[in-house]
Every structure is written in structure tokens, then in C-alpha cells.
């Protein structure tokens, strides 16, 4: 969630990974950018692959994070779960299928620092205006 003014998408991904899972990653790849409702909102998502995970201190979980359960599954199983309808979250589906596609086609992922012209700005701007 890009809710801190000036925070890079990669730094936001690092923060979210630690907050939601208690892990950090030695390596990050950019998988896909998604415009969720083009024409209606600036809401967009940048999906990263966090690789070579290691545990870190997790801040006290809040709200929806408190009830999260982690499940590690092989990529092929995650793809099967998408195709069966077990995973339906649009962001997760896009990330899983993008990871599988880059692997099967032998395509290199993009750098996590790739420019993002469609980066959403409204939420962080509103938080800054409210002093949050």
C-alpha cells in the first residue's frame, strides 16, 4: 500500500512483506503492473516477487494482518489453485500467472526499480494533507 508520501514502491513492498508475514527478502523482481479500474480511479498495483526469504521481527499485527495465515506452495500448485478458482484475488492471480509465465518462457523479470508512470498518488497525497 503506497500510503507514505515519497515512499518508493519497492520500499512499500518491503514494509508490507515484513508487516504481513514477518519475512524480508534478499532479492526482489518486478512481475507486473495492473491498472485496477482504468478511467475510474488511479488505483494501480505493482506486483513484486520476493525471493530468498528470511525471518524478521514482525510488528504487532493490526486489523486484517492479525488473522493472516501463511501457506507456502509451489508455483505450479498456485497456478492450479488459480485455475480451479481457489485463488480469486485479482492481484494474487496476476502475480502468480506472471511468475509462472516468466519461468515457462524463460523471460527475465523487470528490475524492481523500473519507472512506473501509472503509480497512484491520491492516497498518499490525502494522508499527507491530513497529517497522517
For the segment 64-111, what is each residue's pLDDT rounded down to a tens digit?
Answer: 666 788 899 999 999 999 999 999 999 999 999 999 999 999 999 899
Which pLDDT value is given to residue 41?
Answer: 74
Catalytic residue among 7, 19, 65, 77: 65
Which residue range is the domain that position 32 belongs to? Answer: 9-130
Residue 2, domain member (yes or no):
no
User: Considering the domain boundaries, does residue 45 fall inside one?
Assistant: yes
Class of residue 96 by CB neighbours under 10 A (exposed 0-12, middle 13-18, buried 19+): buried
**Domain-embedded: residue 3:** no
Domain with residue 74: its CATH number is 3.90.79.10
User: What residues does 32 pair with on adjacent strands?
Assistant: 47
Residue 108 lies in a domain: yes
Q: Respond yes or no: is residue 19 known to be catalytic.
A: no
- Within-domain flag for 1: no
> How many structural domains are present in the chain?
1
Residue 95 falls within a domain, yes or no? yes
Phi, psi dihedral angles at 125 (to 5 degrees): -65, -45
Is 52:79 a contact under the CB 8 Å cutoff?
Answer: no
Amino acid at each position: 500500500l503506497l500510503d507514505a508520501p515519497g515512499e518508493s514502491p519497492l520500499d512499500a513492498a518491503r514494509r508490507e512483506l515484513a508487516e504481513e508475514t514477518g519475512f524480508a527478502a534478499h532479492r526482489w523482481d518486478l512481475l507486473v503492473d495492473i491498472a485496477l479500474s482504468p478511467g475510474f480511479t488511479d488505483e494501480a498495483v505493482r506486483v513484486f516477487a520476493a525471493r530468498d526469504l528470511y525471518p524478521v521481527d514482525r510488528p504487532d499485527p493490526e486489523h486484517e494482518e492479525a488473522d493472516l495465515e501463511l501457506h507456502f506452495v509451489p508455483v505450479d500448485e498456485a497456478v492450479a489453485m488459480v485455475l480451479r478458482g481457489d485463488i480469486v484475488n485479482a492481484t494474487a492471480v496476476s502475480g502468480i500467472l506472471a511468475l509462472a509465465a516468466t519461468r515457462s518462457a524463460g523471460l527475465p523479470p523487470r528490475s524492481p526499480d523500473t519507472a512506473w508512470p501509472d503509480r497512484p498518488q491520491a492516497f498518499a497525497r490525502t494522508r499527507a494533507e491530513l497529517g497522517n
